[in-house]
Chains A and B, each alone.
Chain A
Amino acid sequence: MIDIKTIKEAEVLTMNVVGDVDASSSIELDTALQAAIESKEEKILVDCTNLNYISSAGLGVFMSYIQDIKANDIKMVICGLNEKVFNVFEILGLHQLLTIKTTKEEAKSHLGEV
């Protein structure tokens, strides 16, 4: 089960991802990210504070947009990953390609700086 809420405030599109991202629910994440990129958002903040679990399919979704983000010059920050979830990102090496911040404040300030 997954619940994604998208809010736009001050040029930053914030996506609140709540629940588990598994093979079936990763489609929702994919749809949300695709919509954000297609609508030419410049700053995207993915808040994963309430993300409990992410499967390889979910990682695949994040991974598949790495090059799009780079090509479109989009600033995307992921924040609030719990230890277990961050560990999954780290093992795969995704933390080297994605901007990951511990707290939402850090993420916001990162987006503000840029």
Chain B
Amino acid sequence: MPQKVIIRLSAGFAFIFWLLYLFTDLFILFSKSTGINSGIHEAIPNLMLNLFIATLYLYFKYKVNRIESVNFTDLLWNIFVTGLLATLGSLALRMFVLALGNSKLAQNIFLIDTFYIMNMGLVSLFLVAVFAVWKRLILYQKSKFLLKIWTTFEYTLVLSLVFNVLPINIPESYSQYYVVLLVLMGLFLSVNMRWVAYLNFKQKWKSILLILLVILYLGYFANILFGSTDPEVAITNTIWSNVFLIALITFTFIYSLFSLLVILFNLPTSSVFEQKLEEVLNFQRLSQSIQADQNEGQVYQILLDSAISAVMADAAWIELNQEDGSIDYFRHQINNDEIVKIKDYILKNKITGIFDNSTDKSLKIEKHLAKLKGQGYKSILGIDLNVQGQQIGTLALLKEVTDGFDKETTNILKTFVSQAEVSVENYRLLNQAIVNERYKEELKIAQKVQSSLLPDKLDTNTDYDIAAFSIAADEVGGDYYDSFRINENRVAIIIGDVSGKGTSAAFHMSQMKGVFQSLAQLDLSSKDFLAKANTAISNCLEKTSFITTAFFIIDQSSKTIEFSRAGHCPTLFYDKKAKTATYFTNQGLGLGILRNDDFHKYIQVNKQAYTHDDIMVLYTDGITEAKNSKGDEYGYDRLKDTILLHVKETPEVIQRKLIEDLYSFTGTEFIDDDYTTLVIKFKKELASE
């Protein structure tokens, strides 16, 4: 059942039970006065009263529980309002009685009884309301033990109500013991007032006022219940209902009084509690202030505010050393001139222990500060801000009293500072991670672009097959190969290696592609090609960079390869007829090494006739210089031997076997250089041979 329904139902039933209580009581009274047997048991009105109290309790219990926030003054305000309404109602009744004076109506026993029962209803209303709220307050941050005691207390109270209607006679003296027992339990429970600690200064004053009024109401109702002893109306007023009422009033009164006193005694220390609470909140703010889209400035501002409120500083500043050597300030109640004055003074007078890490605290700080005229500061505290092992700035606090910084507050400050440091560090790391992530993305794009620079398919003619393989050590690399069909018979093939690796090499590699693609169209001799390429590429290379290439023109009509080498690793050629593999020994010079017209002097043109099943292996030094764990290089001999083992295979297989052998030599697929190989194999039946 939803709480709202329970609250409404219990309110409705409470009212119905109260009405039943009123009518049964009046009926019994009427039948007594007329001497007719009413047929209603005398305990019925009390039963109704008990049921009224029970439903009322249900009502307040749920109502109080609905106030979710732990706003204690709201709870107190609730019972204050209930009390006010009840007292006003009760006062109105009294006024009415007074207005009647000594008239006959005033003597009417039925009217008096009605008023008494109405008063009874109002008193119960208020007492149950207070009881429900006190329960909530006592059980705030409850322990299991406390809960047990409370439950026992509640049951004992209920039992007193049950005795009220039971048709058994219990001696009156017992009821007195019972009251004492209940009051003792109430007294024991009344020492639980943890909630008081959570009130701030203003709330405490408000609570004192509200509780005073509650006590006032209690006094008033006690007076109404036990003050006027009208024997004629006391028919429902059995001993045991008195037990209940006395116990309840005493308990509520004791707790009210205790609360009042505890709050009063807590008043002077409440500012300390508030400050501690503030520190906790500041701490939380500092640790939450790291978010990617925020800036560090917010962290420093929170640190400054927290530090000031923690030590109640009169002035403070945070200085941050910027990368360009300047200093950024976050200031509070102090201007830049004053800061500079103080710092200059400390520096000039060699006062240690403030803005340096020296443990030698100068004892004369106060004296020195006093000399700084017109400032009035008498104590100063400086704390370094360190992020990633580097001092990024200083927090300085000033107070107008001497010995302003005790050990406790200094410790709290240090925690604030370290929390701020963590925040800034996290913030920086996060930003670094974001930047790195972006670079990675950029590199991925570069990788895609570059891989499109290496041709998927190389030009061939009917005389040869070709297989290519290239891996870059980093995302992008400096190895390059390409082909260009010059005309029906001639195909140009190039392999190149830019000095260095990584991004800069990749840029030069793409320049080389441009140079090759434009010059190859001109159908130049291999020497002229390299000379012109040198001129073109020299203009774009930085001083210490160069490119090595080997350039080949395979001519189908003459069955020859024309080639020149520009500093590139010598090409391996397998002669099918001689069954030997040899490296070309032609001279050359890397592109970009000699950046003038003399370059062509160092380039040779060579020719090699080919026949079927001859093999030409082009590669970059990433392969021959690949090292194993012992530091040995793969080398020319091993390359040659590996090729000789597989001369009968297709170029694809030769290429694969070569790379497999390379990996088995190095023991890893991760070679710390770009490596590329091109395997060209002339066909079994050459065109028009």
Contact = CB atoms under 8 A, between A and B. Distances in A.
Given A59-B499, A67-B595, A93 B588 contact: yes
Given A92-B548, A92-B593, 16 more contacts: A23-B500, A56-B499, A60-B499, A60-B546, A61-B544, A63-B546, A64-B544, A66-B593, A67-B595, A84-B633, A93-B587, A93-B589, A93-B593, A96-B587, A96-B589, A96-B602
Interface in A25-53: 26, 30
Interface in A67-114: 67, 84, 91-94, 96-97
Nearest to B569: A91
Contacts of A92: 546, 548, 567, 589-590, 593
A56 B569 contact: no
Contacts of A84: 633
A18 interface: no
A2 interface: no
* Among A30, A66, A84, A92, residue most surrounded by chain B Cβ atoms (within 10 Å): A92
Contact of B544 (A60, A67, A91): A60
* Among A30, A56, A59, A61, residue most surrounded by chain B Cβ atoms (within 10 Å): A56
Contacts of B595: 67
Interface residues of A, number: 19
B500 A57 contact: yes
Nearest to B596: A67
Nearest to A92: B567
A60 B545 CA distance: 6
B602 A93 contact: yes
B544 A97 contact: no
A66 B566 CA distance: 17
B399 interface: no
Contacts of A23: 500
Nearest to B603: A93
A91 B570 contact: yes
B567 A97 contact: no
Contacts of B633: 84
6 contacts: A59-B546, A63-B590, A63-B593, A94-B589, A96-B589, A97-B589
Contact of B568 (A57, A64, A91): A91
B435 to A, nearest CB: 23
* Majority SS at the chain A contact face: helix
Closest 7 A-B residue pairs measured CB to CB? Answer: A93-B589, A60-B544, A56-B499, A92-B567, A64-B543, A64-B544, A92-B590
B594 A97 contact: yes
Interface string A11-27: 00000000000010010
* Among A26, A60, A66, A93, residue most surrounded by chain B Cβ atoms (within 10 Å): A93
Contacts of B587: 93, 96
Chain B interface: which size bin? Answer: 20 to 34
Nearest to A96: B602
Contacts of B545: 60
Contacts of A59: 499, 546
Contacts of A56: 499-500, 546
Contacts of B568: 91
Interface in B655-675: none
* Among B543, B545, B587, residue most surrounded by chain A Cβ atoms (within 10 Å): B543
Interface string B559-573: 000000011111000
B500 A94 contact: no
Nearest to A57: B500
B477 to A, nearest CB: 13
B593 A97 contact: yes
* Among A23, A57, A63, A84, residue most surrounded by chain B Cβ atoms (within 10 Å): A63
Contacts of B569: 91
A93 B544 contact: no
Contact of A57 (B499, B566, B567): B499
Nearest to B566: A93
Contact of B594 (A60, A66, A91): A66
Interface in B587-607: 587-590, 592-596, 602
B285 to A, nearest CB: 45
* Among B545, B567, B602, residue most surrounded by chain A Cβ atoms (within 10 Å): B567
A82 to B, nearest CB: 13
* Among A61, A64, A84, residue most surrounded by chain B Cβ atoms (within 10 Å): A64
A93 B429 CA distance: 47
B674 to A, nearest CB: 11
Nearest to A84: B633
